[in-house]
Structure 1
């Protein structure tokens, strides 16, 4: 029987890890910045707070240019050939150029309505950011939200693993792995990845609870997580729900567990609901995002064969990806090992982790761009943060087995000498 450990001790240790992480980010973190998508989210947040489009544009642009100027300053400090004027002057010049370039433009990328519709149909993250932006301003508000989402995602990992029956040590190991992986880095940024990651972890947690006979609570968490994911990035919610349904059906065919048909049914219903919402609201389809990719944000004429071009680009990208993994196979090796352990020992966590991994891979396949692959495919790290703690749990269980594993070689048996007294 597993030893009982008070739940409070687990969360106390998890909160201590979170506090150390936040302190490290506030004192030494320099990787946080605003991206072009961050500008659009900040502008939407300002509009939700009551600003008109021009006021929101100016506030978001000012924050974006300030953030980029700080990046220039950090780069100049590390450049041995920088001029005598110092990095401060380069940063001020960069900010001035940025403001002059975009002050009278409708957007820092393009004002095309098709491009703008991609962001206006995903209000989840800017709605969540609005209170922080209103209270602290764009830069401090969005950075505070990033810290909360990164910490929230790590605590969700801890709770998920405890809900799956793992020990407090393994659960906190999963939390630390999350914060040290690209999942922690991208959750920290002023992008929707942090909120989407929390939603995905919530859906997995809900699936675990359903499998452990807490069906009402698990279904509520699963549906609620996918609902928030839908208003944040509906394509991810649709793909994830559909893949979870398929994974649960395959798992049921192989193992015949009672929990898997119920979870498959809930996931199928969620996928159908997301597809219906997309159809009824006329949300931008994959055709629009493909044209965005191949026309460089609609600056060029639309291409007649986006799907054929996508297949060709995917072949080139995944060939490049395999070459990268061959040169430095840490991620691939860790993922394969983690999935093997999850499928062998993780129960429902195994098929759920497979569904999440495929979701991340399909997000890259839909936009196979090298410069964006790390961000778009960040969900592919989920099996690692769930599987490595399971490995530590397996090692701990093996070491606690009640037998002595010392190998003893038995001494050879020697027959006593007897004289031959038989007469010839």
Structure 2
């Protein structure tokens, strides 16, 4: 980040927040663990480091089972009716059972080539993880990478907000909001969410810089972030740029800003480029991922009507989601208010934030599973993070009353009223 974008004062504040966050994660403990997808990323990282498929499987499986054993032991500590032997025995039993179950299997889910192609076509995260895994091992390496992703994402938020013209204090508030939200939690995990989130933030930052007449730097940041996002999760990259193109075109129709039209044109070209790459490389389409959903990872025969089933599942999921929000509408209220603030006061951040929100919603709509929704829709928290920073800026800029207690009320006649300091 150039010093002109993120001055020294902001650096010091942001790095202090990052240091406190890392210290808290390393000392207080976290919910960090390896997920089934983490196993596949670790296996791919081992293969990039030179291991054959069998050796990579055994190394990744060992780390996965050890991580799950830690989870079981942690749960056992909190169980008032824990069995004999305590947490250590429960963890050891879990690890042994895990290793026995999957030692001779090609994958902990399925070895079906259609399922494996979904992961082999997304090399970005395991390539990034490979040096960490090589230096520290699977568990420590992927945890270190998670910390780097969470801190890096928070610093990107800080730089983005400074690039948009906000004060250092407001930018750091945005950083803290990032770390305190699900964005920080999922960036911390051994999954591709952290890298994808950083790429999305980088693309938004690039759009902001282009709107502030730093078009060369902004375009390079936008296209570079999009390229990394494409090799990490190309479906997200395609949906993101398509939605940015739509929202910027709508913004141009409303504001007639040449910058909005420029961004709409750039993102339309990027969307076409991503779609062309997917076609030329024969990457798995949405049809494959839908079959994966409705066949339980290809364990059952393929279904003839995956799109009709998706519509039906979406209707059920979003009905459930509305019910949840009716009971505890914090996220919905925070999102609506944040988007309102961003559209009113954020300039180009407004339509960009709308596109990011819709991207998160689209990812859930493509896989409307309750157990996956928090992770797949995590991008919907980015506008909340940016909106909190803008509210902080607005509060900071709010005029205070003069010391003589004279209250100035703006009106067409510009009248001045003096507060009565005596009792009636």
Q: Same fold (TM over 0.5)?
A: yes
Residue 385 in structure 1 maps to residue 385 in structure 2: yes
Q: Which residue of 2 aligns with 1:343?
A: 343
Q: Which residue of 1 aligns with 2:412?
A: none
Tell me, which stretches of 5 or more residues in structure 2 are unaligned? 409-416
Within a 5 Å distance, the mapping from 1:349-364 to structure 2 comes to: 349-364=349-364
Q: How far is 1:404 from its partner?
A: 4.2
Q: How far is 1:351 from its partner?
A: 0.2
Q: How far is 1:30 from its partner?
A: 2.5
Q: Give CA-to-partner distance per residue, 1:102-132, whole Å, 9 cap, x none.
A: 0000000000000000000000000000000
Residue 104 in structure 1 maps to residue 104 in structure 2: yes
Q: Give CA-to-partner distance per residue, 1:342-365, whole Å, 9 cap, x none.
A: 000000000000000000000000
Q: Which residue of 2 aligns with 1:405?
A: 407
Q: How far is 1:233 from its partner?
A: 0.1
Q: Which residue of 2 aligns with 1:415?
A: none
Alignment partners' CA distance in 1, 2:305 and 2:344: 43
Q: Relative to 1, partners in 2 of residues 1:6 and 1:296: Cα closer, same or farther, differing over 3 Å?
A: closer
Q: How far is 1:166 from its partner?
A: 0.3
Shift >4 Å, 4+ stretches = 400-404, 406-411
Q: Give CA-to-partner distance per residue, 1:279-317, whole Å, 9 cap, x none.
A: 000000000000000000000011100000000000000
Q: Which residue of 2 aligns with 1:170?
A: 170
Q: Which residue of 1 aligns with 2:250?
A: 250
Alignment partners' CA distance in 2, 1:348 and 1:5: 17
Within a 5 Å distance, the mapping from 1:166-205 to structure 2 comes to: 166-205=166-205
Alignment partners' CA distance in 1, 2:128 and 2:95: 27
Q: How far is 1:408 from its partner?
A: 4.2
Q: Which residue of 1 aligns with 2:131?
A: 131
Q: Give CA-to-partner distance per residue, 1:323-370, whole Å, 9 cap, x none.
A: 001111111111000000000000000000000000000000000000
Tell me, which stretches of 5 or more residues in structure 1 are unaligned? 412-424
Q: Relative to 1, partners in 2 of residues 1:398 and 1:203: Cα closer, same or farther, differing over 3 Å?
A: same
Q: What secondary structure is seen at the aligned counterpart in 1 of 2:131?
A: helix
Q: Relative to 1, partners in 2 of residues 1:44 and 1:6: Cα closer, same or farther, differing over 3 Å?
A: closer
Alignment partners' CA distance in 2, 1:160 and 1:5: 9
- Contact 2:406 2:418 (8 Å CA) reproduced: no
Q: How far is 1:5 from its partner?
A: 11
Residue 375 in structure 1 maps to residue 375 in structure 2: yes
Q: Relative to 1, partners in 2 of residues 1:323 and 1:55: Cα closer, same or farther, differing over 3 Å?
A: same
- Contact 2:6 2:159 (8 Å CA) reproduced: no
**Matched residue count:** 408
Q: Which residue of 1 aligns with 2:118?
A: 118
Alignment partners' CA distance in 1, 2:378 and 2:51: 33
Q: Which residue of 1 aligns with 2:266?
A: 266
Alignment partners' CA distance in 2, 1:156 and 1:30: 23
Within a 5 Å distance, the mapping from 1:14-413 to structure 2 comes to: 14-400=14-400, 404-405=406-407, 408=418
Alignment partners' CA distance in 1, 2:233 and 2:125: 9
Q: Relative to 1, partners in 2 of residues 1:364 and 1:6: Cα closer, same or farther, differing over 3 Å?
A: closer
Q: How far is 1:392 from its partner?
A: 1.2
- Contact 2:247 2:355 (8 Å CA) reproduced: yes
Q: Give CA-to-partner distance per residue, 1:361-393, whole Å, 9 cap, x none.
A: 000000000000000000000110001110111
Q: Relative to 1, partners in 2 of residues 1:106 and 1:223: Cα closer, same or farther, differing over 3 Å?
A: same
Q: Which residue of 2 aligns with 1:10?
A: 10
Q: Relative to 1, partners in 2 of residues 1:263 and 1:58: Cα closer, same or farther, differing over 3 Å?
A: same
Q: Which residue of 1 aligns with 2:411?
A: none
Alignment partners' CA distance in 2, 1:306 and 1:58: 35
Q: Give CA-to-partner distance per residue, 1:149-197, whole Å, 9 cap, x none.
A: 0000000000000000000000000000000000000000000000000
TM-score (ref. length: structure 1) = 0.94
Larger deviation: 219-228 or 4-13? Answer: 4-13
Q: How far is 1:248 from its partner?
A: 0.7
TM-score (ref. length: structure 2) = 0.94
Alignment partners' CA distance in 2, 1:199 and 1:71: 30
Q: How far is 1:6 from its partner?
A: 8.5
Q: Give CA-to-partner distance per residue, 1:34-71, whole Å, 9 cap, x none.
A: 00000000000000000000000000000000000000
Q: How far is 1:91 from its partner?
A: 0.3
Q: Relative to 1, partners in 2 of residues 1:260 and 1:401: Cα closer, same or farther, differing over 3 Å?
A: farther
Alignment partners' CA distance in 1, 2:87 and 2:243: 49
Q: Relative to 1, partners in 2 of residues 1:401 and 1:308: Cα closer, same or farther, differing over 3 Å?
A: farther
Q: What secondary structure is seen at the aligned counterpart in 2 of 1:405?
A: strand
Q: What secondary structure is seen at the aligned counterpart in 2 of 1:399?
A: coil
